[in-house]
Amino acid sequence: MDDNLNARIDNTTQMKAFLFILCWLLAASIFAKTPGEVAVGAYLREAPLYGFFGDFRKLSELRGKPLIINVWASWCGPCRAEMGSLERLSRRFGGKKIQVIGISTDDDAGAAAAFLQKARVTFDNYHDKNLLLENMLGANTIPLTVLVDAQGRVVKRINGYLEWDSPETLEMISKAFRLK
């Protein structure tokens, strides 16, 4: 009977050790940085922005006013769900106090462009065909929204779905950008 008890204790100990290692690996992967990720408080590097209709600009051209960058994909349910509130947020500020842009990580630019048309999104969106922005912004999960100040410094990173035009979120944005 002692051998049975010892075997069960050994199995339980091994299972606990396995679960601990599994949890540690999972946590490490969730909180792992992407290659080239810019930390909160640091400045974004220059990057190309490729529009869906042949337009091109540089990220640095967007400096001068606070910027909300949403990283999304057309196949991502939470990304699609929050797009309406991002559109309302964009229209609320009209690009005057704050500018909103989207960065699609879709492999298929056509699918992303079709989603934007169907959802009637009017704010500027770009296709991250080389995953440069996805990595620089730290998008190891999507949706990801990054708040960037007028000088190009990352102020805040928000993972997951958010109702972007709710009173609570508008207050968070005002505080992050020190708006009056």
**CATH label of the domain that carries residue 96:** 3.40.30.10
Say whether both 23 and 68 belong to one domain: no
> Is residue 40 pLDDT above 50, yes or no?
yes
Cis upstream peptide for 35 (omega within 30°) = no
Note the pLDDT of residue 64: 94
Note the pLDDT of residue 5: 57
> Is residue 82 pLDDT above 50, yes or no?
yes
The pTM of the full predicted model, rounded to 2 decimals, is 0.81
- Average of pLDDT values for 171-176? 94
Structural domains counted in the chain = 2
- Mean pLDDT for all residues in the chain: 86
Residue 159 lies in a domain: yes
Q: What secondary structure letter does DSSP report for 33? A: P
Range of the domain at 114: 48-177
Element (H, E) at 55: none
More confident residue, 115 or 15: 115
Phi then psi dihedrals of residue 97, to 5 deg? -90, -40
Angle between helices 109-119 and 77-93 (to 10 degrees): 60
The C-alpha R_g of the chain, in whole angstroms, comes to 21
pLDDT range class, residue 180, cuts 50, 70, 90: confident
Alpha helices in 40-166, H assignment, sequence order = 77-93, 109-119, 132-137
